[in-house]
Chains A and B, each alone.
Chain A
Amino acid sequence: MKIVIVGAGQAGAWVARSLRQEGCGAPVVLLGDERHPPYERPPLSKEVMAGKDAHPPCLMSKEQARELDIDLRLNTAAVSIDRLRQAVTLQDGGEVGYDYLVLATGGRARRADFPGAGLAGVYTLRSLDDAAAIRQKLVPGRRLLILGGGWIGLEVAATARRLGVEVMLIESGPRLCARSVPPVISDFLLHLHRREGVDVHLMGSVSKVELAPGSGLAVHTHQGVRHFDAMVLGIGLDPNIDLAVSCGLAVDNGVFVDERGQTSDPRIFAVGDVANQPCAWIGAPGGARIRLESWANAQGQGIALGRILAGRQDAQQDQPWFWSDQYDVNLQVLGMPSGAGTHVLRGSVEDARFCMFQLVDQRVQSVIAVNMPKELKLAKRWNKQGRCPSPAELQDLTLRLERL
């Protein structure tokens, strides 16, 4: 049995590690199109961009790959899949045969379609090289425009402000991070960034970017032409489904997989940002599907698939969970927040230390924790145990929740 993994990011590297941890000795080929060995991406917008750590945590060094007997090939892009012959064609013309193929191709930062979006000085952030390029522009007093008020945009804004950069942020919608958090959290983030000196514009737009005479960029915004030294687009991620599409696998907002990660071809699996999977965590809405773009999902799905391919039993899918770090704020989100049920606030939004519990049918459906990570982890525990404290208990700051 030979296993080929396309994509050496968080998900792909964990599949390989997990296979070995589970005692699978099959030949494993791990193909990465970047020049760097697999690394974790969350620090790119934070420690790496701030220059605190040149390298994010490495998931598998070349030495570790050798020790684990993983055939790690860097700078190696896969260009097509021949499902009949069970082989992957590489950019350099080479070919790798497989018994099982894992698509861990992730996604690419979305590019805007207005004129000038591709100019030098207009950046996106997905890779270590992207982060290093942006870092060069984060010099005190320089002017940075960020398009997009999602997690990437906000984290880049926070890092740039801490480096003394003048930051303007334009979001096209009426509030920040609207896709993943309710209005009260959007407002909290808006006040946080304005207090830190970011010029945040909601319902804003950019229609064109030109090279300014001399240097920098002239950006046509909803408020007329403004000048910046650099611009970062944080407007979303497009899953890398090209390989799957061209070999005829079922795709729909990512590669369509079942709860084990299997695609419409039983020899091919998909994990991480590219996989559109059934929601199978305890308490998940029946029949729903989701494509998650998170570190935790990439790691968890990667480990789970390694177990499955090694012939072990599937593990219970975890509730979705992610975090963001901005200035002195650590924000974590467990589950999928919505307007349903009862919302209970513990702590104080003004003090940037609070937890918002969403209770539906005697269960914690979601938690948003700002500088209160322990409470969120406790909610995870309660969900596993199938219990739920009362709203009065959750609100009571004199009560240590871990004693409940």
Chain B
Amino acid sequence: MGASEWVRVAVYDDVPEDSTLGVEPDGMSICLYKLSGEVFATDNKCTHGDADLSDGLVLDGALIECPLHEGTFDIRTGKAMSAPCDRDIRCHAVRVEEGVVFIRSLPE
């Protein structure tokens, strides 16, 4: 996926509010989130262990908790917020058009 290319990844209504949806556009593994109606996207693989964040819980409407070792990231910024995670997770730009979610990878 090119750095400037928007890729269709999901239907807006399929992303549950205050929860996650794992998607795999072009062989990438992405986790989508919906917070108060707004969609966010990060890499799906935790930066600590071998786990998909899409299997985790959204905490306090702001954080994603890894389902394996319970480290957390800020969904909006990707910042690693609690142990054992200390490397941030990559975020992706999100655009919603006519009920369809597109993402664009930002440079690492």
Contact A57 B68 (CB under 8 A): no
Q: How far is A327 from B65 in the complex, measured between Cα atoms in Å?
A: 24
Given known pairs A299-B83, A299-B84, the reply for A377 and B65 (CB within 8 Å) is yes
By secondary structure, the A interface counts as: helix
Residues of chain A contacted by B67 (CB below 8 angstroms): 373-374, 377
Q: Which residues of the other chain, A, contact B68 by a CB distance below 8 angstroms?
A: 323, 330, 373
Interface assignment of B70: CB less than 8 Å from any CB of chain A: yes
CB within 8 Å of B: which A95-112 residues: none
Mask for A325-350, Cβ within 8 A of B = 1, else 0?
00000100000000000000000000
- A381 on the interface (CB 8 Å rule)? yes
Number of interface residues of A (CB under 8 A): 16
Residues of A within 8 A of B50 (CB): 47
With contacts A323-B68, A374-B67, A377-B70 taken as known, whether A40 is within 8 angstroms of B84 at the C-beta atoms is yes
A299 to B19, CA, bound (A): 27
B61 at the binding interface (Cβ < 8 Å): no
Taking the closest CB of chain B, its distance from the CB of A373, in whole angstroms, is: 4
Residues of B within 8 A of A381 (CB): 57
A40 partner residues in chain B, CB cutoff 8 A: 84
Question: How distant is A281 from chain B, measured CB to nearest CB, in Å?
Answer: 15
For the complex, give the distance between the alpha carbons of A296 and B83 in Å.
Answer: 10
Q: Please determine whether A303 and B56 come into contact, CB atoms closer than 8 angstroms.
A: no
Whole-angstrom distance between the Cβ of B79 and the nearest chain A Cβ: 14
| Shortest distance from the beta carbon of A379 to any chain B beta carbon, whole Å | 11
> Chain B's interface: helix, strand, loop or mixed, by majority?
loop
A374 touches B83 (CB 8 A): no
The A-contacting residues of B in range 28-50, CB under 8 angstroms, are 48-50
* Cβ-neighbour of B56 out of A47, A57, A374 (below 8 A): A374
Q: Which chain A residue lies CB-closest to B84?
A: A299
Q: Which residues of A contact B48 (CB under 8 A)?
A: 57
| Residues of chain A in range 190-233 having any CB-CB distance to chain B below 8 Å | none
Cβ contact within 8 Å between B84 and A402: no
Contact: B84 with A374, CB < 8 Å? no
Residue A14, interface by CB 8 Å: yes
CA separation between A330 and B51, bound complex, in Å?
11
Q: CB distance A303 to B83 under 8 Å?
A: yes
Expressed in whole angstroms, the minimum distance between the Cβ of B34 and any Cβ of chain A is 13
Given contacts A373-B68, A381-B57, A402-B57, 4 further A-B contacts (CB under 8 A): A57-B48, A57-B49, A377-B56, A377-B57
Query: Could you list 24 examples of A-B contacts with CB < 8 Å?
Result: A47-B50, A57-B48, A57-B49, A295-B69, A296-B69, A296-B70, A299-B83, A299-B84, A303-B83, A323-B68, A323-B69, A330-B68, A373-B55, A373-B56, A373-B67, A373-B68, A374-B55, A374-B57, A377-B56, A377-B57, A377-B67, A378-B57, A381-B57, A402-B57
A interface residues (Cβ-Cβ under 8 A, vs B): 14, 40, 47, 57, 295-296, 299, 303, 323, 330, 373-374, 377-378, 381, 402
Top 3 A-B residue pairs of the complex, sorted by shortest distance between their CB atoms: A373-B67, A377-B57, A299-B83
Question: Chain B residues in contact with chain A, CB under 8 A?
Answer: 19, 48-50, 55-57, 65, 67-70, 83-84
